Structure 1
């Protein structure tokens, strides 16, 4: 989805905050993975799943790093130095490796260290900035590989395989300028260094280090070239369970006094280069590093001469390094030539209280030529051992095919690259699935919101139309009521007035006068009701004018003087204030019209400072305020004054008239308070 389109949609729906938030999320989700458009997600997911399935098949066909269960000999540790902010001009650690004179390195393999003591699963202490050099006989340096301008990539447990350019040599140097940093300390650690020539790893003759940290059995300089590493055995992919081949394992009641011997017949005289022994795996499933591997190994080679066996030739190199764990033991055959190789095993380990000899595979080769074994004979073994002797040269260990180290490392590197792509695909699939799910959730939510908004709009429109119709009906009823009832009330008032003039009975005249007064008051009240309905709000000046109009309508036949100040504040007043003030004023005017017998009435409405003053004065017969006078409603007037937040002053003198003065603070008028006291008259 294009950015302009998303912005346009955001503007359209910005009126509803939930919809805006939803589209905002969609907008940024689209930007986060803008390489795949929304419409292309389903097709991209199908392709990614197909590619991932193919990658899974390829990964299943490739070997993986095994857990070597390394309990000792973790490798070389360079000790701790203060961490530096700048790269030094000289190396902080220098390691020199010297191989045999005949050795010419084709490859250098650096295996990252793993500190099993603290449960770390990745590499530990691998150098960050360093270079690997080849030193020739004249001391000239050739850079094999260097990471000086950027940190060496962290491959985890995977080794770094470095190809050595021409000219070849047997002296390799590692110069480290920056190691791993923990806190304010810097250090380096390397598990193993393999020097490869002609596909075989050769032993390092000696090694020197400018700094080292000795902490056996975990860290020591010699562990860096002892052929023990955390890589595990170089094995291929396991066969199916039905075709799985078991390792050779024999249990003795007691160890033979002179050891036990395995003789391998190659069928012809061969120039041997290496004898490799693969440790076995315990058949009961318990992982025991180097299960059943002997502590001492001696080898002899016998030539065939004129069809006869010659005198055995002792191979000088022996094995006395105890158990190797899950590591291949490579013994040089010292270029000896012969047909029969005799390997004698002594100092056997015990398993469940019985001496045990177990081997996964014995491989004989020179360079990359593997010599096939024609037959095997056993000496000093139990009788049932011969039945499983073929397991010693079936090409499998721990149920997996054995591989050359270099071939295995190439496959491991392929797996690492494919695993990265596989993990990237899984992450992309997960991201796209979330985007697709979010898209549909947001789309569904948006549609629901739009439908809800549409329904709400229709409902509101219907409500507004109904309210408008009701309001119009109310206005029409009010107008009709005003025109009809108001006209009738006016007729009643006029008729009562004429009848009052025509009759002579004082009691009837008084009743007719009351009837005319009531008609006039009802007509005034009706006009006020219509006025209130027509107004959206009631303002104080308009309210004051309505009071004056009531006085004019009710006090007909009397001399009326009305004075309204021009300084009345033009502010809206609460409905409750309007009601109480009109009823208060109605009571006062009613008393003037009915009880006072006045001929003159003066009404003054003014503002003095912050106080509204409403005063009505007549020249009627008055009364004595201390005496209760029925019908005057004085108690009601007092209560209404209190409800208005003001005070009432009453001055009445018999035969001299009455004056009522109402004072109300303006601040109480403009405070919208729902008065609790409600009068009925």
Structure 2
């Protein structure tokens, strides 16, 4: 928030306000876009070419798409490497052409830089609008590369051609004039294999732990594993895409089987036929990008990924996959299909391999993903250009406002500002004093009265026993004492909720521990807080609803679950705070057992979650227990900073 001088400066300089509003808008845009990451690839880096002598023809890359498509967009993905030399071999000047005939006798120029150097992008993808032009062949001609002595060289990681949102260039054949090939590292087909140093095609929502693919340990390096997808009907399969599983617990690794086969069969009684094979060209190296296997319309009902050799990490042999996509007619037909994993004859149904999530976030169509990365580059460049301008304009405007205010307005201006600011502080202090007085009154007056009621009930009960009075009256006195005691405890919670000095997440956790000590004294329980934001101040409403959500969940466990163990945990998930409560009790009743109890048990929890604008996830299994997970964006919980 600008200081008073800053506010005046912005009133006198509308250009500064417009620049700041534009920067804020651009920063909001960045929060919605996929993140540009750098991954070090060991194989299939892309394609390189060279013009070895001045009289040699210009190097060219030509992609045959197999048939004509309306081209929506084309992306060039530059190399991204730790080597400074490799960073700088994006062609300086180039031309991109479309054609429906192989010899390009009829063609359309999509882009030509002529004699202008194309700017370096720092590894960001470059987008060209295809304007729905029909083309079967795409050609990139390098008019000028990077000088290396008398030669000129160039290199690219990937060329991605998008039609109707689908990457029609993946797996297509490439011909090169002036190629510089290195086995398994630089070769023409590596420019259409879908492998890019930008990583996995993900963005959007964060994946839950149960949505992060499949990881299994085998006893030795000889153990095999298979994942089989039944498509439900026979289809013409175009492409299979396998996403690596990220492991971040001890060793950082991106896992795929070190050696595997793609197999298909048309009917249940048929044998599986191997249609593709893959072996890690650099054994035991990470695979940070999806693997793409073109099947070119092979007909099948079932597809199986056969892992023939696991990845060795330390003393473990691991198989891992994050997601399986099977594409037919530009649609992912494996989405939500169950996957049968067979590991040493033990079969399991895996639902997390076709749920649309990679290891961290939701999978995006590659066209949308590249488009977001390109937009991020454009937005970041604009912010970089505007930031120095904003800083200079703000500095100059605030300096001018300071001198102008001192010379022209003087005390006439300063006194009203001082009065307004002082009134705001006085008003805030009055509110604090009111909260303290209410808390004190509750604690001293009502608390004292409740204590007196409880004491009178106990004394009356003793007199009743001594005088052999009616048992019904004794039961009523027990109930009065119980209600008074519970009301006193509830009043203590209300007093705590009003206390401004105990508004942090850490204070909430401390109160949760105190409440658990009181309510769960006959249950084995644990409370863990792994949040890194324990000093952050909560708003009054957020503090109240979080604590009451927690109390309601604990009361449900005590009343209904008959649990002997309870686990309570708070931690961070991205920009969210998560609260998880797990018990080993009876679980929620099924719908067949009781149609009415289920909504009653979770209605208050759901209401608190909605008020907090959070997400509630309740999972329960009969005689196993119940898991309650509440996730709320931290920005909705944190109190506005105090005015000083």
How does the TM-score come out when normalised to structure 2? 0.53
> Alignment partner of 2:351: what SS?
helix
Alignment correspondent of 2:167:
200
Q: Residue by residue, what CA displacement relative to the aligned partner does 1:16-49 show, whole Å, maximum 9, x if unpaired? A: xxxxxxxxxxxxxxxxxxxxx9775555444544
Alignment correspondent of 1:223:
190
The alignment status of 1:213 with 2:180, answered yes or no, reads yes
Q: Residue by residue, what CA displacement relative to the aligned partner does 1:248-300 show, whole Å, maximum 9, x if unpaired? A: 2111112455x211112334444433221111101316433x42433222222
Separation of aligned partners in 2, 1:369 and 1:179? 38
Superposed, 1:530-609 pairs within 5 Å as none
> Alignment partner of 1:212: what SS?
coil
The alignment status of 1:403 with 2:369, answered yes or no, reads no
Separation of aligned partners in 2, 1:54 and 1:165? 28
Separation of aligned partners in 1, 2:250 and 2:399? 47
Alignment correspondent of 2:201:
234
Q: Is the 8 A contact 1:273 1:334 kept in 2?
A: yes
Q: Is the 8 A contact 2:225 2:343 kept in 1?
A: yes
For residue 232 of structure 1, report the CA deviation from its aligned partner.
1.5
Relative to structure 1, is the Cα distance of residues 154 and 135 closer, same or farther in structure 2, using a 3 angstrom cutoff?
Answer: same
Alignment correspondent of 1:299:
263
Separation of aligned partners in 2, 1:330 and 1:223? 11
- Name which one, 1 or 2, has greater alpha-carbon Rg: 1
Alignment correspondent of 1:273:
238
Q: Is the 8 A contact 2:236 2:299 kept in 1?
A: yes
The alignment status of 1:342 with 2:304, answered yes or no, reads yes
Q: Residue by residue, what CA displacement relative to the aligned partner does 1:614-636 show, whole Å, maximum 9, x if unpaired? A: xxxxxxxxxxxxxxxxxxxxxxx
For residue 315 of structure 1, report the CA deviation from its aligned partner.
5.2
Alignment correspondent of 1:152:
118
Residue from 279, 284, 288 that aligns with 1:326: 288
Superposed, 1:455-604 pairs within 5 Å as none
> Alignment partner of 2:120: what SS?
coil
Separation of aligned partners in 1, 2:203 and 2:375? 13
> Alignment partner of 2:24: what SS?
helix
The alignment status of 1:248 with 2:214, answered yes or no, reads yes
The alignment status of 1:365 with 2:309, answered yes or no, reads no
Q: Is the 8 A contact 1:263 1:341 kept in 2?
A: yes
For residue 159 of structure 1, report the CA deviation from its aligned partner.
1.9
Unaligned runs of 5+ in 1: 1-36, 304-308, 448-681
Alignment correspondent of 2:378:
417
> Alignment partner of 1:281: what SS?
strand
Relative to structure 1, is the Cα distance of residues 429 and 233 closer, same or farther in structure 2, using a 3 angstrom cutoff?
Answer: same
- Higher mean Cα deviation, 357-366 or 43-52? 43-52
Relative to structure 1, is the Cα distance of residues 320 and 56 closer, same or farther in structure 2, using a 3 angstrom cutoff?
Answer: same
Separation of aligned partners in 1, 2:172 and 2:37? 28
The alignment status of 1:75 with 2:46, answered yes or no, reads yes
Separation of aligned partners in 2, 1:183 and 1:311? 60
Q: Is the 8 A contact 2:156 2:191 kept in 1?
A: yes
> Alignment partner of 2:158: what SS?
strand
Residue from 338, 341, 345 that aligns with 1:375: 338
Alignment correspondent of 2:451:
none
Alignment correspondent of 1:58:
29
Relative to structure 1, is the Cα distance of residues 197 and 180 closer, same or farther in structure 2, using a 3 angstrom cutoff?
Answer: same
> Alignment partner of 1:202: what SS?
coil
Alignment correspondent of 1:536:
none
For residue 431 of structure 1, report the CA deviation from its aligned partner.
2.0
Separation of aligned partners in 1, 2:243 and 2:108? 36
Q: Is the 8 A contact 2:265 2:300 kept in 1?
A: yes
Q: Is the 8 A contact 1:68 1:325 kept in 2?
A: no
Q: Is the 8 A contact 1:315 1:333 kept in 2?
A: no
CA-based RMSD: 3.7
Q: Is the 8 A contact 2:51 2:59 kept in 1?
A: no
Separation of aligned partners in 2, 1:117 and 1:218? 15
> Alignment partner of 1:373: what SS?
coil
For residue 205 of structure 1, report the CA deviation from its aligned partner.
4.9
> Alignment partner of 1:229: what SS?
coil
Q: Is the 8 A contact 1:269 1:338 kept in 2?
A: yes
Alignment correspondent of 2:249:
284
Superposed, 1:13-92 pairs within 5 Å as 43-79=14-50, 92=58
* Count of aligned pairs between the two proteins: 394
For residue 396 of structure 1, report the CA deviation from its aligned partner.
0.8
Q: Is the 8 A contact 1:65 1:412 kept in 2?
A: yes
> Alignment partner of 1:273: what SS?
strand
Alignment correspondent of 2:143:
177
Separation of aligned partners in 1, 2:255 and 2:173? 29
For residue 402 of structure 1, report the CA deviation from its aligned partner.
0.8
